[in-house]
Amino acid sequence: MTERNTLLRSTHDLGLAAWFGGSLMGAVGLNGAAESEGVTDVGTTRIASAGWAKWAPLGAMAAGANLIGGTGLLAANRRRVVGQKGVAASTVAKTVLTGAALAATAYTRVLGKKVDLATSEKEEDQELADEAPLDYESAQKQLALMQWAVPALTAGLVILNALHGEQQRPSQQVKGARKLASIVR
């Protein structure tokens, strides 16, 4: 590959780095700090919710940057995806995993917002929470699991990103093209 896609690759990689790192830091650091500093379960939840709410816009931007960069890279590398053995399969896997990470991120945010509303002292939040009753303990358990699912899924994306980098080595491109040529004959 002689063409450079530095802006697309940077957008993709920085977005993924922030998405993975932010979700991992939140699951470990923010939730851990909230557990250490919260006097009650509700206090712990409110501390964690406040931190996650501050992160949410940046997390969305990070996921969006990853998607924009990834879509651009896919368009720029479309011939290699089709023509080099193994690249289409890893691209499909990465696409599926990205969808799962996006779904997990969105679901985590929905659960977090519900838990936040259920523990809020603001009257308007309590009214919203009353409109959509919530099993608080069940939502907390789901949220705890989902907050670990996002860094796990995005870690998988980092691994597939590394695989794509390896597949772009000239020796791998030549080997993949030779295998494709032998199949076409």
Predicted pLDDT of residue 169: 65
Higher-scoring residue by pLDDT: 63, 133: 63
What is the spatial distance between Cα 180 and Cα 23, in angstroms, rounded to a whole number?
A: 39
CA distances from 17 to 4, 22, 85 (A): 21, 8, 27
The arithmetic mean of pLDDT across residues 70-98, rounded, is 92
Identify the sign of the CA torsion 48, 51, 53, 58.
Answer: negative
Token pair 């998405």 in the structure block, residue: 19
Mean pLDDT computed over 121-147: 77
Confidence of residue 105 (pLDDT cuts 50, 70, 90): very high
Which DSSP letter does residue 122 get?
-
Question: Mean pLDDT over residues 119-132, rounded?
Answer: 67
Question: Long-range contacts: 66-70, Cβ < 8 Å, 24+?
Answer: 66/11, 66/12, 66/15, 66/16, 66/19, 66/98, 66/157, 67/15, 67/98, 67/102, 68/11, 68/12, 68/15, 69/8, 69/9, 69/10, 69/11, 69/12, 69/13, 69/14, 69/15, 70/12, 70/94, 70/98
Q: Is a pLDDT exceeding 80 seen at residue 62? A: yes
Q: Of all helices (H) and strands (E), which one includes residue 79?
A: helix 78-83
Closest CA to 35 of 24, 22, 46: 46
Share of the chain above pLDDT 70, in %: 84
For residue 177, the model assigns a pLDDT of 57
pLDDT tier, 3 (very low <50, low <70, confident <90, very high otherwise): confident
Packing angle, helices 87-119 and 136-167, rounded to 10: 160
